[in-house]
Structure 1
Amino acid sequence: MVARNFFIGGNWKMNGSVAQVKSLVEGLNTINVPTQTEVVVSPPALYIDRVRANLKKDIGVAAQNSYVKASGAYTGEISPEQLKDLGINWVILGHSERREYFAESDKFVGQKTAHALKAGVSVIACIGEKLEEREANITSQVVTRQLKGIADEINDWTNVVVAYEPVWAIGTGKVATPEQAEEVHVTLRAWLASNVSQKVADSVRIIYGGSVNAKNAAELGKHCNAWASHSLTHSLISLLFLIATKPNIDGFLVGGASLKATDFNTIVQARL
Structure 2
Amino acid sequence: MSNPRNEGSFSPFSLSQNVLDDPQAADAYARLLQEVFDFVPRRAPVPDPHWHVLALFEPQGACVAGIEIAKLGLVLDGEERVAMAMRLAGVAPSHRGRGLFRTLMDHALAACAQRAAAAPILLYTEDEALYTRFGFAPLVQHAFVGLALSPTPSAAARPVSRAEAIELIDRHAPSRAPVSLQCAVRGGTDLLRANVEESDPRLAFLDAVDALVIYEREEAEIVIVDIVAAVIPTMATIIGALAPDARRVRTLFPPDRLAWDATPVPDDTGLMIRGEVPPAMRRPFMLPPTTGF
TM-score interval (norm. to shorter): under 0.3
- Structure with the higher fraction of residues in strand conformation: 2
Larger Rg: 2
- Structure with the higher fraction of residues in helix conformation: 1
Give the TM-score normalised by structure 1. 0.27
Give the TM-score normalised by structure 2. 0.26
